[in-house]
Amino acid sequence: MVADDAGAVRVYGGDEVLRGKVLQVLFTTPGERVHQPEFGCGLLNLMFEPNGSILLAATQFTVGQALSRWLGDEIKIDLVRIDPSIQQDGYIVIELAYTKIQDLQQQAMIIQFK
């Protein structure tokens, strides 16, 4: 997923339906959905915290836990990585690897946003 100059978000890699579900989990803030107030990750809220190793670790943990909780019937999370060395020009890059439970197919996504 890449945010372009106009603020649009693009995702590369993975099954299209699962990509959409992953994005829903990551970019939905808990409390945003009336009938499912706990749903989401709150990833965008974490981006306003001071940058550092603690934030990176907390973000990795939060992303992994949210995806496991909300999509655990469909995917098994293999990797969540946020590498501080690839943060450039204010962009955050998240690398995800997961295995689809239905057919044990491994997939990966790279999500980049500002």
Average pLDDT in the chain = 81
Between 97 and 52, where is the model more confident?
Answer: 97
What confidence score (pLDDT) does residue 53 get? Answer: 76
Domains of the chain listed by start with CATH number: 2-113 (3.10.450.40)
Sign of CA dihedral 56, 64, 44, 58: negative
Report pLDDT digits (tens) over 40-78: 998 877 766 666 777 788 889 999 999 999 999 999 999
Report pLDDT digits (tens) over 10-24: 555 557 888 889 999
Q: How far does CA 73 lie from the centroid of its chain? A: 17
What confidence score (pLDDT) does residue 49 get? Answer: 64
Q: Is 46 exposed, middle or buried (0-12, 13-18, 19+ CB in 10 A)?
A: middle
